[in-house]
Structure 1
Amino acid sequence: MASKLSGNGIYEGSRIILPEHREAYLNEMNVQERRGKPILDDQEVQLIEELIMESYKECRSVTLTVFNPFDDEEIRGVVASIDRPNRRIKLVRGEEDYSWIKIEEIAEASL
C-alpha cells in the first residue's frame, strides 16, 4: 500500500478525463489561440474606403480580407450598397449570394 501512495502513485492509476472536462479544455485552448484585431493607420483606412467606393461606382470586383480572431477570410465580390449609418457594405458574390460586412472588420482591400 505504501508504494501506491509514494511518488504520485495513487493518481497514476486513476487517470480519467470526463467528456465535459475535455470539451472545456479544448474550448480554453481555442480562446488562447485568438488573435487581436490589427490597428490600421489613417492611410490604410482611406485606401480601403476608396477601393470600396470605386467598386461601388464602377461595379468592379474587389477582394476584401475580413478579420477573424482565428483566421482571416478573403472575400471577392462587387459592392452593391453602402450603409453609412451602420458603417457596413453589402458585398455580392453571385446571383443570390451576398453578405453584409462591417467596414471596421476589413483588414485589407485590393482590386
Structure 2
Amino acid sequence: MSKKLQGNGMWESSRMMLPEHREQIIRHKQEMNLQPKPLLDEQKLDELSRQLFAAVAVKLEVTVTVFDRYGNQTVKGRIEKVDPLLKRAKISNQHSGAWIELIDILHIASAESPADM
C-alpha cells in the first residue's frame, strides 16, 4: 500500500496550502477559544450604572473592562458622555476616543476613588 494512504500521509505528503485553507484554519482555532458572555445580576448592573454616571459627573479617569468573545479588553480614559437611546458610552483618552456598548461593560474601576463612587 502507498505511504500516502496510511495514517495522515495524504496531508503530510502535500506541502501546498491555499491561502483560503490557511485563513479557515486560523478562524477555526479562534472560534475554539471563544468565551461565553457572563451574565450579570441586577445588583451588579445597578452598581455599574451608578459608577458610570458618577464617572461622567465627576469626570474621573477610569478603567473599563469590556467583554470581547476572544478575551476581555480594558479601555482607560474619561467617560465623556452616555447615550441612553443607543445604549453606549463614549470614553476618551489623550490619543483617541471610542464608543462602548453599555451591555458589554463588565467592570469599572477608577484611579481616584471619591466617596460617591
TM bucket normalised to smaller: 0.7 to 0.9
Which residue of the partner structure matches residue 97 of structure 2? 98
Which residue of the partner structure matches residue 4 of structure 1? 2
RMSD: 2.3
- After superposition, the Cα gap between the structure-2 partners of 1:8 and 1:108, relative to the gap in structure 1 and judged at 3 Å, is same
C-alpha contact (below 8 Å) 2:55/2:79 kept by paired residues: yes
Q: Matches of 2:12 and 2:90 in 1, distance apart?
A: 58
Secondary structure class of the residue paired with 1:86: coil
Q: Which runs of 5+ in 2 are unaligned?
A: 111-117
How far did 1:11 drift?
3.1
C-alpha contact (below 8 Å) 1:63/1:76 kept by paired residues: yes
Which residue of the partner structure matches residue 15 of structure 2? 16
Q: Matches of 2:104 and 2:93 in 1, distance apart?
A: 18
Task: Tell me which stretches of 4 or more aligned residues in structure 1 moved more than 6 Å.
Answer: none
Q: Matches of 1:60 and 1:6 in 2, distance apart?
A: 64
How far did 1:13 drift?
7.0
Which residue of the partner structure matches residue 80 of structure 1? 80
How far did 1:15 drift?
2.7
Larger radius of gyration: 1
Q: Matches of 2:34 and 2:48 in 1, distance apart?
A: 24
Higher helix share: 1
- After superposition, the Cα gap between the structure-2 partners of 1:4 and 1:48, relative to the gap in structure 1 and judged at 3 Å, is same
Q: How many residues end up aligned between the 2 structures? A: 108
Instruction: Name the aligned partner's letter for residue 102 of structure 1.
Output: E
Secondary structure class of the residue paired with 1:55: helix
How far did 1:66 drift?
0.6
Q: Matches of 1:23 and 1:55 in 2, distance apart?
A: 42
Q: Does 1:70 align with 2:70?
A: yes
* Sequence identity percentage: 21
- After superposition, the Cα gap between the structure-2 partners of 1:31 and 1:17, relative to the gap in structure 1 and judged at 3 Å, is farther
TM-score, scaled relative to structure 1? 0.83
Q: Matches of 1:6 and 1:61 in 2, distance apart?
A: 61
Q: Does 1:39 align with 2:39?
A: yes
Which residue of the partner structure matches residue 56 of structure 1? 56
TM-score, scaled relative to structure 2? 0.79
